[in-house]
Amino acid sequence: MAGGAYAEEQALQGRTLYYEHCLLCHGETMAGMDKAPPLAGPQFENTWSGAPLAALVARILSMPPEKPNTLSQEQSVAVLTYVLWYNGLPLGDAPLPSAPDVLAKVVLEIPSRQ
């Protein structure tokens, strides 16, 4: 995906949702805990690099495991942008669209860390 595919406001909304719905299991630094996998770092990158964003949104929609679809499609995309921000993807001016057909065409590329 090209740089700047999401907006700051969207990622901030996503952070609020993340703290409310995801923090407990995936942790403040997205390192994961117990059975919950990390949402940032090498393992996350190995799993998701090259995947369409639609696949990641589908996993977010399946969360939390015991209560899937707690978040709407739009909220899940906002959480996704907070995850993207945490993984070092640059902010842009326009929000990432939440339409599934658009997300199916955007492939996740995580910038390499120095």
Which structure tokens are listed for 87?
A: 């993984």
From candidates 44, 81, 86, 95, binder to ligand HEC by CB under 6 A: 44
Q: Does 59 bind ligand HEC (CB under 6 A)?
A: yes
> Tokens 């995906």 appear where?
1
Q: Does 86 bind ligand HEC (CB under 6 A)?
A: no
Written as one string, the DSSP assignment of 9-31 is HHHHHHHHHHHHHTHHHH-TTS-
Q: Does 1 bind ligand HEC (CB under 6 A)?
A: no
Cβ atoms of 112 and 23 closer than 8 Å:
no
Minimum separation from the CB atom of position 8 to ligand HEC (A): 19
> Tokens 């993340």 appear where?
18
Q: Give the footprint of ligand HEC on this chain (CB under 6 A).
A: 21-22, 24-26, 35-37, 39, 44, 47, 56, 59-60, 63-65, 71, 79
